[in-house]
Amino acid sequence: MSTVAKIASCTATACAFNNDGCTAFAITVGGADQPACGTINTIDLRAGMQSPDAHVGACQRLDCKHNADLMCTAGGVDISGDMALCTTYAPR
């Protein structure tokens, strides 16, 4: 795999890394019950890089069809809502 999946959109507005988009360098997608961003941080500040240019660094959801060797192969990833769910997730 030569590219990493870009975060196309994120609506988890309570996350410190959401500043008009995801400003974390990279996120981890995991979640025990539902596929979700494991990088979400709800402390009361804004953090991360100056512009929203995040990628999926690792995906722990082995049951997703976009997962190849713990890397996301989707063309873009959407993270949604207060629970920061990965809505790009698709079961195998």
| pLDDT digit string, tens, across residues 2-22 | 679 999 999 999 999 999 999
Asked whether the beta carbons of 50 and 23 are under 8 A apart, the reply is yes
**pLDDT value, residue 21:** 96
pLDDT in tens, 21-46: 999 999 999 999 999 999 999 999 99
Q: Between β-strands 71-72 and 67-68, what pairing exists: parallel, antiparallel or unpaired?
A: antiparallel
91 pLDDT higher than 80? yes
End-to-end CA distance of the chain: 19
Average pLDDT over residues 52-61: 97
pTM listed for this prediction: 0.93
Cross-strand bridge partners of residue 28: 58
1 pLDDT higher than 90? no
